[in-house]
Amino acid sequence: MEKINKILEAIDGAVWGVPLIILILAGGLLLTIRLRGLQVRHLGRALKFMVKNEEGGTGEVTSFGALCTALSATIGTGNIVGVATAVGAGGPGALFWMILAAFFGMATKYSEGLLAVKYRTVDEDGHALGGPFYYIERGMGKKWKWLAKIFAFFGMCVGLFGIGTFTQVNGIASAVKDFFDPNSLHTVTIPGIGEYSWAVIVASLVLAICVALVIIGGIKRIAEVSQIIVPFMAIVYVAICLLLLVCNFTKIPEAVVIIVKSAFAPQSIAGGIAGSMIIAMQKGIARGIFSNEAGLGSAPIAAAAAKTKEPVRQGLVTMTGTFIDTIIICTMTGLSIVLTGAWQVEDLEGVQVTTYAFQSGLPIPAQAASFILMVCLVFFAFTTILGWDYYGERCLEYFSNGSKRSVMVYRWIYIAAVFIGPYMTVSAVWTIADIFNGLMAIPNMIALIALNGVVVKETKDYFNRHKNGRLG
């Protein structure tokens, strides 16, 4: 297993090397400049559109429903476990790069949502299909269809082997075990696999059943469930983090200083300052993309299903996902980990780091803090599993030229992947996720850079019409 982990880490290092980091940051910077800081100038308007559905649009779900579907896929273990993993591997400075990437990522996410609606297809029964594969093929031209197919293939893989299943289920199983059976007193040996706590086995079985009951209903059922769970759990988690930060507000300035200094001169990381800085950037940006998916090309698949006739409007709504996910939730998690010193505690991994932060920073019993975090993680990860099933299905639908049978087979394979997720090692799970994320991001970022002129033109046209009173 150790040899496999080393191979995976080598592949991950190659995929998430300097070229991809530059591609993502440069793409976000280019779009930010060309859109004249739209993510700042129109954030208020975007937040307003987020809760105010458009009338008269075509699609399958409301704009809010599409956003909640996208948020269901982004607000997950990345916000709780991913941040802890990034800080653990790259130091507190990883949080700085995560936030910076998210700022530019808001412009990226806006562009993704805009292009998704502009180039989508809507058939006679209202079924909408869109995303990077369509804006690559239709926007860049038929000769680029091979790039669209590559994106669709990696999109399926991310769903099955990356963000969608293994990482989420592993996070849920770890949180449930740490709460109900922290000392592994109640275990069973599975032949050929190993010894596992009954809490892990029961959690994976219950989760697989719940996932099956929802995803068989398709996008409308996923959106219905997401619209209930996502806003409620996001508010609960933010409230808990705010309580922790308020109770430890005197430590916040010191934590901010540590984060900024560590971003450029991390300590206690091998390879010298230059090498350490690259590690901090790599882990921060990689985990940031894992969390908010800006540049990945997943959110536009959900955006394409929105009932809207204005690509720019949906782009603004899509952009709020990155703001909520990373700039608010991930920042709160990261600050909690740094100011409590949880990132420095030895022998803690993944969710255990965030659990320690909650236990030591909240004015409530440690058991209560663990329970709250477990519940948040379970529901966040559950909705992420649902969202990524939808993404994977739409990628397969495009890849297989609309084969409904292939989609049904994919659903059952997806449910099976959910069931086996807990039995993968944590390091292997996250490394596999990082690899497929990076491979998925490459064709999408190429398309966004190539089509930046279209994004700018559509944006100018929309706001000119709004200025002239031709929009409500």
Cα 364 to Cα 199: distance, rounded to the nearest angstrom: 25
The DSSP element (H or E) to which 205 belongs, if any, is: helix 198-215
pLDDT of residue 246: 94
Q: Which residues of 112-143 are buried (b: 16+ CB within 10 A; e: fewer)?
A: bbbbbbbbbebeeeeebbbbbbbbbbbbbeee
Q: Tens of pLDDT along the chain (472 residues)?
A: 577 778 888 888 788 777 887 888 899 999 999 999 999 999 999 888 887 776 666 666 777 777 777 776 667 666 777 788 778 777 888 888 888 888 999 999 999 999 999 999 877 666 778 889 999 999 999 999 999 999 999 888 888 877 777 777 877 887 788 788 887 777 877 766 677 788 888 888 888 888 888 887 776 777 778 778 878 888 888 899 999 999 999 999 999 998 888 888 655 443 444 446 777 777 777 767 666 777 888 888 888 888 888 899 989 988 988 898 888 888 999 999 999 988 888 777 777 888 899 999 999 998 898 888 888 888 888 888 888 888 888 899 889 887 888 888 988 888 888 887 777 666 677 777 778 878 888 999 999 999 999 999 999 999 998 887 766 5
pLDDT of residue 36: 93
Number of Cβ within a 10 Å radius of residue 264: 13
pLDDT of residue 15: 82
Here the tokens at position 89 are 């591997």
Over residues 204-263, the pLDDT tens digits come to 888 888 888 888 777 677 777 877 887 888 888 889 999 999 999 999 999 999 888 888
Here the tokens at position 402 are 């609309």
3-state secondary structure of 301: helix
pLDDT of residue 342: 87
Q: pTM here?
A: 0.84
**Closest C-alpha among 262, 337, 207 to residue 91:** 262
For residue 343, CA distances in Å to 81, 261, 383 come to 12, 16, 27
pLDDT of residue 219: 66
For residue 193, CA distances in Å to 189, 198, 317 come to 8, 14, 44
pLDDT of residue 376: 84
Evaluate whether 12 touches 431 at the Cβ level (below 8 Å).
yes
Domain 2-467 carries which CATH code?
A: 1.20.1740.10
pLDDT of residue 384: 82
Here the tokens at position 73 are 């896929």
pLDDT of residue 133: 92
**Closest C-alpha among 406, 115, 92, 423 to residue 264:** 92
pLDDT of residue 270: 38
Here the tokens at position 401 are 């030229």
**Closest C-alpha among 341, 360, 357, 350 to residue 381:** 350
Query: Position 87: which residue type?
Result: V
Here the tokens at position 421 are 């997720």
Phi, psi of 197 (to 5 degrees): -70, 145
pLDDT of residue 148: 94
Cα 148 to Cα 141: distance, rounded to the nearest angstrom: 10
Evaluate whether 357 touches 336 at the Cβ level (below 8 Å).
yes
pLDDT of residue 164: 74
Cα 175 to Cα 291: distance, rounded to the nearest angstrom: 18
Cα 116 to Cα 118: distance, rounded to the nearest angstrom: 6
